[in-house]
Amino acid sequence: MMKVAVLKETFPTEQRVALVPANVPQLAKAGIEVLVEHGAGQAAGFLDAHYVDKGAQIAARDELFSADIIAQVRTLGANKDAGREDLAKFRGGQFVIGMCDPLGEPGSAVEIAETGASLFALELIPRITRAQSMDVLSSMATIAGYRAVLLAAIELPKIFPMLMTAAGTLTPARVFIVGVGVAGLQAIATAKRLGAVVRAYDVRPACREQVESLGGKFVELPLEAGDAQDKGGYAKAMGEEFYRKQRELMASVVADSDIVITTAAIPGKQSPLLITADAVQGMSPGGVIVDLATERGGNCELSRADERVVAHGITILGPTNLPSEVPNHASQMYSNNVTKFLLNLVKAGNVELNLDDEIIRDTLVAHEGQLLDARMRDILGLPPLAEPETQPEPAPEIDSSSQDAEANSTDTDVDDDSGEHAKETDE
């Protein structure tokens, strides 16, 4: 059977696990045996006994590197320091699956490639219908958006809902969500459920319908955004002049909010600065900002990664790993994503590298000692990989006993094949 090893995460504060016990029987049916490091799921509420009950084996960490596939939440690129301890244990013919910050830390993929192991970057799952069940970014963003609202609610010296009581009427909290991706949508839904008045803004006007469907009000700024969305559905980086005007216009909305949650991030690039120090100062004392983009610089000028900053009477939070703070459900979602990915990758107990499948092709960033992803190579200044040469098919052998008949038949076959080849080339 194909063996998949689940390592205990070594990134500081990381409490998630790559596979949960519930997915073990599903993988076993597909010819995949699951090996789990002792204590790998404990922080998320999954004990070794739970894995054993579902058919997994518990093993020491060093023993797991003999497995065919290594499954992690954070592999080297997303775990730059502690992840390096595992690098020498990878080997040729092995597959590593996990989040690796491919566009932010492409050099780490090169290091894994040099071990001979192949690397699948789960952040690069294409946004197509067939891959929705494997989309780890959307799964983890859902958790982050929910958690961000709860953190803000704890810090805010008000409650969210409007209450009419004998002691008077309490007005509802005003929440402003910047960025209407998966995290932003979940933040809108959560804040609305808690009773807040919710407004949201995104550079992509198409998001209006989604905001309104959740009970929020879409904020329009008089800006010419043009084509603000890439083919994957993500917001594109805009020019500095655009962001300058955006900051100016957004300041009045920020000033009228009790809570601001920012989620605007560009894959592999610096997060756009959207809220200046002056805009923070314009908020009423006691306000809260939760900046979910601090891992790449932040959307708020005053936010700091994984720090709680108080400035001008405003509390500013910059969490970078909120899914880990909800490790049980975050692990369940991530594990379901990984399981679907494995079932698509492993056929009849063997890894099938079908590069005609865009899910496999787009996520396979390192293979046979090479960095494959064109964007990652470009970031590192590496030349494009040479296209493999197409070898001509050998001519069919002719039976001399019926040379004339075979010759006629061969001529017909060559013509047919040439026509079919031309058709494929045109397509």
**Structure confidence by residue, pLDDT tens digits, 216-259:** 999 988 776 655 555 555 555 666 787 888 888 899 999 999 99
Round the average pLDDT of the chain to a whole number and report it: 89
User: Which one of 26, 48, 127, 370 is the catalytic residue?
Assistant: 127
In a domain, 410, yes or no: no
Burial call 362-394: b when 16+ CB within 10 Å, e when fewer: bbbbbbeeebbbeebbebeeeeeeeeeeeeeee
Same domain flag for 303 and 240? yes
**127 classed as catalytic:** yes
Percent of the chain scored above 90 by pLDDT?
A: 80
End-to-end CA, the chain: 39
Kindly tell me the burial class for residue 20, based on how many C-beta atoms sit within 10 Å of its own C-beta (0-12, 13-18, 19 or more).
Answer: buried
Same domain flag for 164 and 121? no
Structurally, the chain folds into a number of domains equal to 2
Same domain flag for 317 and 183? yes
What residues make up the domain containing 10?
Answer: 2-134+326-379
Q: Phi and psi for 371 in degrees, rounded to 5? A: -85, 120
Residue 10, CA distances (Å) to 15, 107, 321, 401 in order: 9, 20, 14, 71
Same domain flag for 102 and 167? no
- In this structure, is the dihedral angle defined by the CA atoms of residues 261, 325, 61 and 27, taken in order, positive or negative? negative
- Residue 231 carries which DSSP code? T
User: Which one of 91, 130, 132, 417 is the catalytic residue?
Assistant: 132
Same domain flag for 302 and 230? yes
Q: Phi and psi for 372 in degrees, rounded to 5? A: -95, -30
User: Which one of 26, 57, 208, 234 is the catalytic residue?
Assistant: 234
**132 classed as catalytic:** yes
The neighbour count for residue 233, using CB atoms within 10 Å, is 11
Distance of CA 156 to the CA centre of its chain: 30
User: Which one of 86, 101, 135, 362 is the catalytic residue?
Assistant: 135
Same domain flag for 254 and 347? no
In a domain, 49, yes or no: yes
Percent of the chain scored above 70 by pLDDT?
A: 87
Same domain flag for 107 and 158? no
Last residue of a domain, one of 257, 290, 325: 325
User: Which one of 118, 138, 246, 332 is the catalytic residue?
Assistant: 138
Q: Quick one: pLDDT band at residue 83, thresholds 50, 70, 90?
A: very high
Question: Is 185 in contact with 145 (CB distance < 8 Å)?
Answer: yes
Same domain flag for 239 and 331? no
**Identity of residue 204:** R
Cα atoms in the 13 Å half-sphere on the side-chain side of 339: 21
In a domain, 385, yes or no: no
Same domain flag for 150 and 265? yes
Nearest-angstrom CA–CA distance, 149 and 130: 30
Nearest-angstrom CA–CA distance, 197 and 194: 9
The answer to whether residue 422 scores a pLDDT higher than 60 is: no
Same domain flag for 165 and 291? yes
**138 classed as catalytic:** yes
Same domain flag for 187 and 57? no
In a domain, 397, yes or no: no
Same domain flag for 37 and 127? yes
Last residue of a domain, one of 379, 407, 422: 379
Nearest-angstrom CA–CA distance, 281 and 225: 27
In a domain, 252, yes or no: yes
Res 226: pLDDT: 58
The answer to whether residue 160 scores a pLDDT higher than 50 is: yes
In a domain, 63, yes or no: yes
Beginning with the edge strand found earlier in the chain, give each strand of the sheet holding 288-291 in spatial order: 217-218, 197-201, 174-178, 259-262, 288-291, 314-317, 308-311
- Domain holding 317: CATH number? 3.40.50.720
Q: Phi and psi for 354 in degrees, rounded to 5? A: -85, 95
In a domain, 160, yes or no: yes
Q: Quick one: pLDDT band at residue 147, thresholds 50, 70, 90?
A: very high
The neighbour count for residue 14, using CB atoms within 10 Å, is 20
**370 classed as catalytic:** no
Higher pLDDT, 267 or 156: 156
In a domain, 415, yes or no: no
